[in-house]
Amino acid sequence: MSTYSEAKQKIIKELKVALGKGYSPTAAELETPPDSTMGDFAFPCFTLAKGLKKNPAEIAVEVSAKIEPKGWIEKVSAKGPYVNFFLKSEVFGKNVLEEINLDKENYGKAKEGRKRRVMVEYVQPNTHKEVHVGHVRNFFIGHTVVNLLNSVGYEVIPACYIGDVGAHVAKCLWALKKFHAEEKPDNWAKFLGEVYTEASQYVEDHPEVKEEIAVVQRELEAGKSPWVSLWRKTRKYSLNMFKDVFKELGLPIDVWYFESEVEKDGKKIVQQLLKKGVAQESQGAIIVDLEKEGLGVYLILKTDGSALYSTKDLALAYLKEAQYHPDRSILVVDSRQSLVLQQLFATLRRVGFKKDFTHLSYDFVTLKEGAMSSRKGNIIRYENFRDTMIDASRAETKKRHPEWKDKKIEETARLISFAAIRFGMLRQDPAKKIVFDMEEAMSFDGYTGPYLLYTYARAQSILRKAGSVKPKIETKKLVLPIEHKLFFKLSEYPEIVLKTSQDFKLDRLAEYLFDLAKTFATFYHEVPVTQTEDKETMAARLALIESVSQVLKNGLWMMGIETIKEM
């Protein structure tokens, strides 16, 4: 049990004794007071007051008088309708630091998932298009979810699903052949994205070419040359680019799925659903009628017999089940797909899937001018964004460390940029849209990734400068309020991880880390650790700093951010 949970248990035990048989308090009822000077935990007396028909403030006074401070509890006091508990730094802090020191990078992990297998599909770019900042949000949310679920004891299978067939591919190849047959660009993947945009715009102005493109699509589906060979070649350029991007972002991907692999099976499954009576014909197409569930009509095959997203989604679900039979399946997809995914889940349930399906929905990244769209070409390419960020952090790093070698500057700038990019995308509720602003993204002050890295680097710096004094857990030397505050913040981490792994409100994790960093920064300015005269006190403070470092590192790792010792 974490120190945090243990502290709650101890408080509950005291409360039970004080309250007697009439009321049985639970750990879930304990709250954290709005200000740390009010105590570490608070027990609200409202429910109790209702039962007893008494003023909650009076009850709080009575209850607090009945509890004698002992063990972990240093003080109990009533404030308004709350009974506030103050934990004793010496013993509570000792437990926290020892727990962190023992668990190290495993601090905060749990066994909640009991090895249940969960599949997380979170990387779904289309070939022949570019990777933009919108995809990046999807990647980071998924990556963090994978880390969280792993940390709380699930067996996680992270997967990607590449859109390598369909209308967009046909459009791109058609334009490639028509307008750029002889071209040999340096950056093929980027070039394909541009051709796709060009084609989309051309079609808007010249609707008469639609049929030409439809022919390309049909021939592709039928496996006819020369389109198939062109498809193979160009698909590879996109896939190579994806691999580079995934690698540099460190995205965990255990399984690769492709739309091209599931198209045929999808059509077969549609036929099976027809036979079973789950699906039916309607206006020449095949649908699943989900009116009963309030989900309308789910279209799963076109009138001309060709596949839709839904056709392939069905086949993919079957394939995942056959290969991995996960207990739970999570799809990280933007909120616009909400209806079709609910339709997919409902259909799967009708044919007997008893899995736990979750659509982890997030809102889109837009620009100030409005939505980004590859069709319109008004996208912020990931690679441009990354380069802009690296340029900014390289300049800053060079200024601060003129003596550093280029290689070190480059590596540091890269990590700072990635921290900024990731933190920027993860620091707000996935349910809310992000209006992307390059200026804002390039800010490294305040609530940002670089600030957290900086805090970590300063903590590391103190540990280096401490010289011969080594960290030692000696919490009776740590009596300052700010030190107590740090103990408490550190103790909360496992709870934050667990909660976030359940509701996927990833912004909570970001906010927690920032809060911890800020608390540490206050400590940093109030307490000149390396100048501490009493060496035992200094050693104790160093131990506290070590723990703060560890938790910052663990939490940032969860978000896919690597810490650095100097910056």
Site for RNA in 64-123 (CB under 7 A): 79-82, 84
Interface residues for RNA in 244-273 (CB under 7 A)?
Answer: none
Q: Which is nearer to RNA, 146 or 434 (CB)?
A: 434
Contact region with RNA (CB under 7 A), list: 89-97, 102-110, 433-441, 551-559: 433-441
| Four-residue CA torsion sign, 333, 338, 342, 343 | negative
Q: Which CB, 81 or 158, lies closer to RNA?
A: 81
Find the part of the chain contacting RNA (CB under 7 A) among 13-21, 243-251, 301-309, 551-559: 301-309
Minimum CB distance to RNA smaller for 118 or for 175: 175
CA–CA dist 3, 494 (Å, integer): 9
The reply on whether position 446 binds RNA by CB under 7 A is yes
Alpha-carbon distance values, 364 to 134, 197, 229, 370 (Å): 7, 20, 35, 11
Task: Write out the E strands in 259-404.
Answer: 280-282, 285-289, 297-301, 328-334, 356-362, 365-367, 370-371
**Binding residue (CB under 7 A) for RNA from 161, 423, 504, 514:** 514
Residue 84 to residues 11, 49, 69, 262, 270, Cα–Cα distance (Å): 10, 16, 12, 59, 61
Encode burial over 175-203: b for 16+ CB neighbours within 10 A, e otherwise. bbeeeeeeeeeeebbbbbbbbbbbbbebb
In the complex, the smallest distance separating the C-beta of residue 102 from RNA, rounded to whole angstroms, is 25
Rounded (to 5) percent helix, strand, coil in the chain: 60, 15, 25
Helix (H, G, I), strand (E, B) or coil at 470: coil
Q: Please give the residues from 183 up to 242 whose contact with RNA meets the rule CB under 7 A.
A: none
Q: Which of residues 6-65 bind RNA (CB under 7 A)?
A: 28-29, 31, 33-35, 38-39, 42, 44, 46-47, 50
Can residue 479 be called a binding residue for RNA (CB under 7 A)?
A: no
**Minimum CB distance to RNA smaller for 140 or for 444:** 444
SS3 (DSSP) at 331? strand
Q: How far is the CB of 119 from RNA (least distance, A)?
A: 21
Q: Which is nearer to RNA, 42 or 152 (CB)?
A: 42
Q: Is 98 left (phi over 0), alpha (psi -120 to 50) or beta?
A: alpha
Q: Which of 24, 272, 282, 502 forms a contact with RNA (CB under 7 A)?
A: 282
Closest CA to 262 of 350, 172, 124, 165: 165
Q: Cβ closer to RNA: 17 or 167?
A: 167
Q: Could you give the string, one character per residue 537-566, with x where binding to RNA holds by CB under 7 A and - elsewhere?
A: ----------------------------xx
Report 337-376 residues binding RNA (CB under 7 A): 337-340, 363-364, 370-371
CA distances for 421 relative to 31, 126, 144, 434, angstroms: 33, 22, 14, 13
Q: In sequence order, what are the residues at sequence separation of 6 or more whose Cβ sits closer than 8 angstroms to the Cβ of residue 484?
A: 36, 87, 89, 93, 478
Q: Which of residues 373-432 bind RNA (CB under 7 A)?
A: 393, 396-397, 400, 412, 416, 427-429, 431-432
* Residues contacting 46, CB < 8 A, separation 6+: 56, 81
Shortest Cβ distance from residue 155 to RNA (Å)?
28
Binding track over 118-157 against RNA, x by CB under 7 A: --------x-------------------------------
Nearer to RNA, 46 or 179 (CB): 46
| Choice from 529, 540, 544, 561 touching RNA (CB under 7 A) | 529
